[in-house]
Structure 1
Amino acid sequence: MAVYNDVDDQEVVNLTQALVRIPSVYRPLDPKANESRTAQYVYDYLKGLGLEVYIEEVVKGRPNVIGILDSGRPGKTILFEGHTDVVTEGDRDAWSYDPFGAVIEGGRMFGRGTNDTKGNLSAAIAAVHAIKRSNVKWNGKIILCVPCDEEGMMIGIKHFIKRGWAQGVDGAIICEPEENQICITQKGAIRAVIRTYGKMAHGAMPLAGINPNTRMAQIICELMALEDKEKQRVGQHQYLGLPSITPTIILGPEKGEPQINVIPDQCYSTLDIRTVPGQNHDQLRVDMENIFTRLGSLDPDFKASLEVIESRPWTETSLDDPIVRASVESFRSVARKEPIYNGVPGATDGTFLHLAGIPIVTTGAGDRHIPHQINEYIDLAELIEASRIYAQTAMLFLNE
């Protein structure tokens, strides 16, 4: 059942190159800057392989693609997920290569999305193609889930689940750059907005106003203390490290033009909170609201609001789960060594598949520190290995 030998190495490379050369950065102010061209290419490619394929627009210009390979025999369903969107290339002049050129040099391919995650999407497609043309008998069904907007609010995977595509899936491989390590857990994420409210006044006469900036500073100091408390309470996770509460944006005022000699009437801040097993998102929200209550009891002019705009819980999959066992055994067969277990420092589309009741493993080629950087790259030998691991994982999982 060594179907991984049927993976076409050149197909993995060529498909990655083709996808990277189609820019799919989402830019809200540019109606042509989205995932539509990449999604159409994937749709046509999967059609050409003879798969059952669907394309569904989530919002205008931002479609999901779903490909299905059915064995025709009853059995389990495995899902491979890889998104089509990539982050902005940033300063093009800072790149040593065209960010959408997919240049190959020294065994590496350079370009935005090579690592995160068009390379791994290509590896998954090539793996399914290898299974289709092999003579190996297998049971059940394989789904290729190719959503938009993983780098944003993950509207693609949410739409995929809402449309019912996740029903009946028994296990999922999230195709992200993890150096082909077996990631069985991932951090949760809370994205929140804090606003403090004051009264405008001349900077020379601060008593005539109410300064929202000093109130925001108090909140941030209290949040630092809450972070320390949580670190001490849950400790360092074996794979994910420590939790964090990070203020990322501070604006005063939120709207209008700031001026050095004017106290603004409002201050705006955002939080990027990353959680680990042992933390409860609802309790963290209560803890933050208690900070506001406490500060308000000490200051009659204190006024603040908290808005949680996204809550993505941490995930954890048992080592005994069939999708983990299949991933581990596949890695051993292909790489001929023991796998490294790890965790994902950020949330992925797998977060929402997990919430839908699907056990997940996150694995794929690529240095896990390279995503979103200038001169992003993928090592082609590692990428080909990932494709073989994907193919063998599917066979082991479906024929168990």
Structure 2
Amino acid sequence: MTLDRTTTPPVGTFPPLSLPAPGIHALSNGIEIIACNRGDEDVCRIDLMLEGGYYTEQKPGTAALTLLMLKEGAAGKSSEEIAESFDYHGAWLQTSASSHYLYVTLYTLNRHLDTCLSLLADIVIRPDFPEKEFTRLKERRLQQLLVQKEKVDVLASETFLSMIFGDKHPYGRAVTPDHINHITTEDLRDYHQQHIAPGKCRIFIAGKITGKLLDNLELHFGHTWNVPSVDSAIIPAFPIHRAENPIIVTHKENALQSGIRMGLLVIGRENPDFFALKLLCTILGGYFGSRLMSNIREEKGYTYGISSSIAAMRYGSYLTISTQTGTEFTRPLIDEVFAEIDRLRNEPVPTDEFITVQNYLRGDMARTLDSPFSIADYYLSLKANDLPVEYFAQQDEAIRQLSPGDLLSAAQKYLVPSQFYIAVAGDKNKIPPLSLP
């Protein structure tokens, strides 16, 4: 059969999407294991997800420093020995802290599971917190903070979060050099004892999973890890205190650019309108062909990049628009953002644009299914947000059922200009007065 290359082939319909159910196992000490057994390569990823994060800190900055110090010495091994062992075996370790969880992730070849999981257990369960390494790490962290505080983008982001949550709220609190200076190794030991324990741990495994991996997990994180969980200090309720002034300009002497953050508190995943708002946010600034990019970058040339996104947090979700621009374009850029929001509130999204973004979002979901590691990432997200595996298919179905009318209604209901907050960091002397529409 000869192909007719003068005719564009028809585009097939996008089938409904669903996430494969994970394998569920349990260690003898009760730790739940969530498994994604897919792939042909003899590699795997192990994620330890522990309850904790920034929200539980008594001293801001403790969670991140505790995780960073895990690989600086454990079970009598030095940081050099730990790093050399992982490098020699082709393994890679990373740590991160979010608002409510701590994560320790190991990538390793299956043939080195014995050695790498033994070392991982030492790092997680038996850290030494050596004083010399802690001093060096603190100095490095302080230098990083000083560099970050010079960036208008960082200043605008920190100011914006403090405006919508309050500077005492964990979501709106910025870590400062003073915070870091007051943290001691004893603080790290206390935080480790409270939060890195079997009763606060889940383990996610992905890749080519073998019985050897499960046996090693039981050996190193099962019956041998029976330290009782220590009751964490009572976490106070953190009420949200929104700023009285909806516009704050942080002065940065002689800055050539302005960092800009605009946004407002919005609904969370539990609200049935959430998916309409998510699609609306994507149209506004959630992909390269978005309205903000087309207008403010392509047509006006005010910036190299501008985006909008929704952060769905446990105790408060928010939509934010992020960009940087030349100081002279600060006011015109903000005006154009509100002009695009006004369009969304008053004009239905054209059908072709709606279908494009609808397919973009569903395509982004489909990419989640490409690899065992991306599927495991989604499992992690589901557990972090206390959502069932069926949420993936429910989200896909909800996006497929939306209409331009739903978006118009959501824009009018949730994108209310008078409720926006604007944080700008730049040379205040060169930025004209700003206002909401």
Highest RCO, 1 vs 2 (Cα 8 Å, sep ≥ 6): 1
From the two aligned structures, give the one with the greater helix fraction: 2
Class of the TM-score when normalised by the shorter of the 2 chains = under 0.3
Report the TM-score, using the length of structure 2 for normalisation. Answer: 0.22
With normalisation by structure 1, the TM-score equals: 0.24
- The structure where strand makes up a greater share of residues is 1
